[in-house]
Structure 1
Amino acid sequence: MSDDPRTLDPDYDSHGGFPNFEPATPGPGFGRFLTAMRRAQDLAVSAAPDAGTWDRAADLAESLVDLLAPSEAGEGVGPANRVPSLPGAGSLLMPPYRVTEFTADGVELQVQFSRFSVGGNHAVHGGVLPLLFDSVFGMVIHATGRPISRTAFLHVDYRKVTPIDTVLTARGWLREAQGRKAFVNAELRNPDGDLLAEANGLMIRLLPGQP
């Protein structure tokens, strides 16, 4: 009997709200938009202008909302998270990263946090790192050829302060597989190779018909 769940359920790829993502080619304007939006995010948490400037900024932000709102689409339709050539694959949810290794032996990213992710004292907020590690876990699942899985648990150990404005290396790998279970590990290091944080988790393969 085949271990591929698609033999039992042809719609498996779309379960749990997971569309079948295909790379998008939105054109250079989208890359410019992402760059500007990332800078706007940084300024939104760091700027301290006068009240009148905030009023003008609000007007411009509302104008942007009015411009984009008519084009709002379902998940997997817009280019966000579907442009591998752009930092963070084109997703503002993630810190800008670039994949440097994607094999069954492991996944490696170059990632750089900015002011938007600061929790205090110019250090990355501790809650941001589980988001990064969870995404790395998902990449590991894809890189190893395992079917769509959900995170059952994710544990993070913080070893050193994670800095902003520094190119860091995140790496993830499959430690062990047991049927539907995939035990994964990940780590984040600075340019000197120092361990900043490490994570371990469990990814569970979805059953046919399971959301």
Structure 2
Amino acid sequence: MTGDRPESVFEQHGGFPVFTPADPGPGFARFLTAMRRAQDLAVSADPDSATWDEAADRVEALVALLEPYQADEGVGPASRMPSLPGAGSLLMPPWLVTKFDPDGVELEVQFSRYHVGGNYAVHGGVLPLLFDSVFGMVIHAAGRPISRTAYLHVEYRKVTPIDTPLIARGRVTEAEGRKAFVEAQLLDRAENVLAESNGLMIRLLPGQP
């Protein structure tokens, strides 16, 4: 998919810094797992008032512990741990990449209670976040420079369940200059399409944010 573009073009990142993988040690993976579970419980637990007070005390203590270490983007391990679900970012659904080739990418993803919009179905707004992440990976896997999303269209085919292993696939369908047209699908294990998306990614110019 790189065509006849010189390698130097791929190395352009607009105004983005070049992020490198992080190595924070095993404690970060444990922290991430616990925080994901805490997110699930934050939207599903129903304890008594005293327990909420105690939980608030503990969370405030955690904030106090970490606040002195707040760093700039790309310095902390979040989003820089490809071996962890969601690359180590709590913002992202917990996906793991199973294919990363110029002809497309594939992810395994499983949503949880934190992602519910209603009636135990994944919130419709979560799926564009997943697809936008897939599109970014597709662009990188195809050997194209960093790009911004110009538009992203989602069609919802079936209810997306929680606590169920799912598959997301994406690829570049057409490239023209700075433009790359992309598509992706979210499927269950029986290959039923739950949602699909298409979009346009625009390569950043040098220095462009």
> How does the TM-score come out when normalised to structure 2?
0.94
> CA separation in 1, counterparts of 2:123 and 2:175?
31
TM-superposed CA distance for 1:192, in Å, is: 1.0
Which residue of 67, 77, 81 corresponds with 1:69?
67
Q: Counterpart of 2:22?
A: 24
SS of residue matched to 1:203: strand
Deviation per residue, 1:5-24 (Å, 9 max, x gap): 957xx9x4261xx3211111
1:98-137 residue pairs with structure 2 within 5 A?
98-137=96-135
Contact preservation (8 Å) 1:184, 1:203:
yes
Gaps of 5+ in 2: none
Structure 2 equivalent of residue 205 of structure 1 = 203
Aligned to 1:171: 169
Could you list the per-position Cα deviations for residues 95-152 of structure 1 after superposition, in whole angstroms to 9, with x for gaps in the alignment? 1111000000100000000000000000000000000000000000000010110000
SS at match of 2:13: helix
Write out the 4+ residue segments of structure 1 that deviate beyond 3 Å after TM superposition. Answer: 2-7
| 8 Å contact from structure 1 (residues 19, 75) kept in 2 | no
* Contact kept in structure 1, 2:14 and 2:207, CA below 8 Å: no
State the percentage of identical aligned residues.
72
8 Å CA contact retained: 2:13, 2:204: no
Q: Is the 8 A contact 1:124 1:163 kept in 2?
A: yes
Partners of 1:79 and 1:90 within 8 A in 2: yes
Structure 1 residue 186: Cα displacement: 0.2
SS at match of 1:53: helix
C-alpha distance in 1, partners of 2:132/2:118? Answer: 22
- 1:99–1:107 Cα contact (<8 Å) kept: yes
- 1:78 maps to 76
Hey, what does 1:157 align to over in structure 2? 155
Q: Distance in 1 between matches of 2:78 and 2:67?
A: 15
Could you say what the CA RMSD is over the residues aligned between the two structures, in angstroms? 1.5
TM-score (norm 1): 0.93
1:13 aligned partner, one-letter code: H
SS of the counterpart of 2:159? coil
Q: What is the Cα deviation at residue 209 of structure 1?
A: 2.8
> Quick one: which amino acid aligns to residue 41 of structure 2?
L
Contact kept in structure 2, 1:5 and 1:208, CA below 8 Å: no
CA distance in 1, matches of 2:13, 2:181: 21
Matched AA of 2:110:
Q
Q: Is the 8 A contact 1:153 1:202 kept in 2?
A: yes
Q: Give the alignment of 1:181-192 within 5 angstroms.
A: 181-192=179-190
Matching residue's letter, 1:44: A
Partner of 2:208, secondary structure, is: coil
The answer for the alignment partner of 1:46 in structure 2 is 44
Partners of 1:90 and 1:206 in 2: CA distance: 25
